[in-house]
Structure 1
């Protein structure tokens, strides 16, 4: 093995190693999830040299320099106040979803008008309209971090793969017998996973367009799918009250996570893939150990259904969004309740962290999105202007741009 170069990853903090083995270029990551401005760089370099065979003492100074750059990035104060920039009359009918590419230079919107549109974030220009679905375009995604492909799934029972630059349709994935309501790319951008109302999930080969596996095990609709950061496992959440963990290479069921008393609304791995969070209509959120499938915590406190839950990028926090008009924040290690975010006047359907894990963004049917401080729970800003409920919101990679999508047929850009 021969080390070729290092790349920095700011969110979450880490160093990517590019190396050559057997004539092929490969990568591996050194995750520095607990890095802080107080971390001693020399001690951390010594730990890395001891644990990573590719990094010898010869590389110590360069690794130290990278660590210091990561610390400098973390030390930058986040006092950013978002200003409304533009409203995009994106579609003829209500939107269903919005999503950024990795850099945040482009984003996509799906709609009941059967199309997906690609937008330039800086100018608000519509770059492409992806059309040929025969029904609602419900789930959409870029193949981040690459950003050169887009997947769209529809109530027409198909998923399509598109070129993000030209709008060419590479493949139409056919095989589901009911609406496809969720999708995800694996990190390597070699597979697309789809989840359907037909109770199955499927894996599709991006290169050939062929079905790789049908994941059968749920007995009700599959509402959410998520790959881990390695790409060797997939989780699915279902209306049957369970979460399933699947081995991607074999397509086999690893664990069925049972314990919720109602439908699952969202599932997600933490960054190091050790934990899974599930949100449910039973008013609770659960944390599960990935390796054993054991439930390690039930996070309670909401009075109504949970509509979303997520980890921050470092895996320290869990945020939940509920129909009770509040969001809550918990410690992912101690399971302690940390904050209740109050201010919305109607249900909160979406919650997400900024990349720095200092802010939380919520979207509500009260027609506003809100920005919250992770330390104090203070509402820092109300993003208003939509005339109907906001169902989607997202930060770009740097956390300095927000998009919000609403049933008023528009999305708004905030810098």
Structure 2
């Protein structure tokens, strides 16, 4: 098993045998099952650093976490959330968890359990949350037909310092019916974002400029979408069980393009599902398409021939099915994985956030380049022009590493500046009162 490059993760609405399951896509055999988490809603599954699986519960206000090499959940932690989660995402660095409860989006820091933000720009249930591959932004889409692009750093830096909610970077409201799925290609904010809706349209946006590139109108309501790794073909699943493919190598000259059953040839269809196609995923080599549907089956398709090469029956409608790179620890049952996490808080502690996220400007010299300045206390920013440093926050993920001595020096500098600030405040207060006398 250790030679597997990819595994397939699936879940269904039954949940009697397991909450989710990892499969060998080549042989169709079970590799590992994860139990005790109920059933998972669509878009309610995510990985934390490829070492832990986190899922939402379809019937309870809980999140469940398993090590990838164990069917038993992480003990000693209880992730209670404000309500039943409708969609879930984790930042690629494993630092932040974003979850939607109906139309409200919550952001937690996994290591501390602190609720960092609560966003309420949607007015109907949020059905999908997706991060860009660099973790700098995420997209929320809902039954209100809106797709919002959020800049994570703007949300985190404004929390606790302003009563005004952070506005999204972009707000797309082109769809007229609920959005059912969202896909972001690779490339950070230079990538494409594609959405599908029950209004039969697939809309592709350029995230760098926030403009609509292409609007594809299909003959059936759309329920799922994926794009291959080369960004050459779009695959959409429909409510009637069809899977259509559209080539982006020779796009139409018009921004809006209508397709019908006559123009969609047999070379552009995958026919095999007997109900709505709920999820789509493409293997790393681009040769295999995995689809799950309400007909309780997961199909593996050979893309060049459009033929089914394997079918895995389930006990309920498929809610999640995706290819993921095989975690190394999945095949080593002896490895003990440790998760730095705390119970999720159900409210934003403004006073605590203001204390922990005390920000000062500090110039840090670096052995290789004295002009480099480091970002500390915000794990997703990387190298920046100023240093936001917390007295209780560890070093974030930046370009390069900072040794422990340097960290202690920075913390000492923060304590010194805090003391100076306190002394200045006390001196000013005493001067004012003395002059008043």
Q: TM-score range by the shorter chain?
A: 0.5 to 0.7
After TM superposition, which residue ranges in structure 1, 4 or more long, deviate above 6 angstroms? none
- 1: distance between equivalents of 2:9 and 2:273? 26
TM-score normalised to structure 1 length = 0.61
| Shift in alpha-carbon separation, 1:114–1:220, aligned structure 2, 3 A | farther
Q: 1:262/1:271 Cα in 2 relative to 1: closer, same or farther (>3 Å)? A: same
Q: TM-score, normalised by structure 2?
A: 0.58
Q: Which structure's relative contact order is higher, taking Cα pairs within 8 Å and 6+ residues apart?
A: 2
Counterpart residue number, 1:381? 309
Report the equivalent of 1:147: 50
Note closer, same or farther for the CA distance 1:272–1:183 as it changes in structure 2 (3 Å cut): same
Structure 2 residue aligned with 1:224: 128
In structure 1, C-alpha distance between the alignment counterparts of 2:219 and 2:150, rounded to whole Å:
30
- Corresponding residue for residue 350 of structure 1: 279
What's the secondary structure of 2:99's corresponding residue? strand
CA 297–118 in structure 1, closer or farther in 2 if over 3 Å, else same: closer
Structure 2: gaps (5+ residues): 156-165, 253-263, 327-437
SS in 1 for 2:292: strand
Per-residue CA shift, 1:25-82, capped at 9, x if unaligned?
A: xxxxxxxxxxxxxxxxxxxxxxxxxxxxxxxxxxxxxxxxxxxxxxxxxxxxxxxxxx
Q: Which residue of 1 aligns with 2:227?
A: 311
| Contact kept in structure 1, 2:301 and 2:310, CA below 8 Å | no
Pick closer, same or farther for the CA change 1:313–1:169 going to 2, 3 Å. Answer: farther
Matches within 5 A, 1:134-213: 136-138=39-41, 140-143=44-47, 146-154=49-57, 155-164=59-68, 165=70, 167-169=73-75, 171-176=77-82, 178-197=83-102, 199-213=103-117
Asked if 1:272 is matched to 2:187, the reply is: yes
1:247 aligns with 2:151: yes
Contact 1:104–1:121 (Cα < 8 Å) also in 2: no
SS in 1 for 2:273: coil
1:385 shift after superposition: 4.7
Matches of 1:115 and 1:351 in 2, distance apart? 23
SS at match of 1:245: strand
| Secondary structure, aligned partner of 1:159 | strand
SS at match of 1:240: coil
Work out the number of aligned pairs and report it: 289
Matched, 1:362 2:291: yes
User: Contact 2:8–2:324 at 8 Å: present in 1 too?
Assistant: no
- Residues 324 and 347 of structure 1 are in contact (CA less than 8 Å); yes or no, is this contact kept in structure 2? yes
In structure 2, the CA distance between the partners of 1:112 and 1:172, relative to structure 1 (3 Å rule), is farther
Kindly indicate whether the alpha-carbon contact (under 8 Å) linking 2:45 and 2:320 is maintained by their aligned counterparts in 1. Answer: no
Change (3 A) 1:173 1:257: farther
Taking a change above 3 Å as real, the CA distance of residues 114 and 172 of structure 1, as seen in their structure-2 partners, is farther
Work out whether residues 11 and 319 of structure 2, in 8 Å CA contact, stay in contact via their aligned partners in 1. Answer: no
**Matched residues in 2 for 1:142 and 1:389: separation?**
19
Q: Is the 8 A contact 2:21 2:33 kept in 1?
A: yes
- Cα distance in 2 for partners of 1:370, 1:106 equals 11
Shift of 1:245: 0.2
Q: Is the 8 A contact 2:127 2:180 kept in 1?
A: yes
1:190, distance to aligned residue in structure 2 (A): 0.6
Stretches of structure 1 lacking an aligned partner (at least 5 in a row): 1-101, 399-415
Counterpart secondary structure, 1:249: helix
- State whether residues 10 and 22 of structure 2, in contact with CA within 8 Å, keep that contact through their aligned partners in structure 1: no
Name the one with the larger strand percent: 1
State the distance in 2 between where 1:142 and 1:111 align: 17
Report Cα offsets for 1:204-256 as digits up to 9, x if no partner. 11110111211221111001100000001000110110100001112231111
Q: Is the 8 A contact 1:185 1:192 kept in 2?
A: yes
Say whether the 8 Å CA contact 1:136–1:156 is kept in structure 2: no
Match of 2:236 in 1: 320
